Amino acid sequence: MRNDERFEIQRAFDLLPHVVGASWATVGFRMEGIRKPTREEFREKTLEYLKMVEPVFESYPKNEDYAEICKYIELRKKQEYEKIISGENNEIETRYDRYVDYG
């Protein structure tokens, strides 16, 4: 698969973890009055909310025409989930720092 064929999916996975996952996690903690969650709690909550959009990740038909992009989506999804849990997603870590510092 050419890079230009997966460009839009790459951009989505660059943005979704912090735009959906961390944003919803931040609001959730704020609404529950939890001002200082642990970093691990924040990562887990971020992943919990990100996983709610999984139906979108699985929305393409399961046929030969979409096989390569579906395989790429699954690979990228797993990579992003691991980056969140391991603390390697810098944007999530920045969102955590901002929340605990400014709540």
Give residue 86's pLDDT. Answer: 98
CB of 21 within 8 A of CB of 49?
yes
Q: What's the pLDDT tens digit per position in 43-63?
A: 999 999 999 999 999 999 999
3-class DSSP state for residue 20?
helix
Q: Is the pLDDT of residue 4 over 90?
A: no
pTM of the model: 0.92
Closest CA to 49 of 78, 90, 20: 20
Contacts (Cβ under 8 Å, ≥6 apart) of 46: 17, 18, 21, 22, 24, 25, 84, 92, 95
Smallest Cα–Cα separation from 11: which of 67, 76, 56?
76
pLDDT tens profile 75-89: 999 999 999 999 999
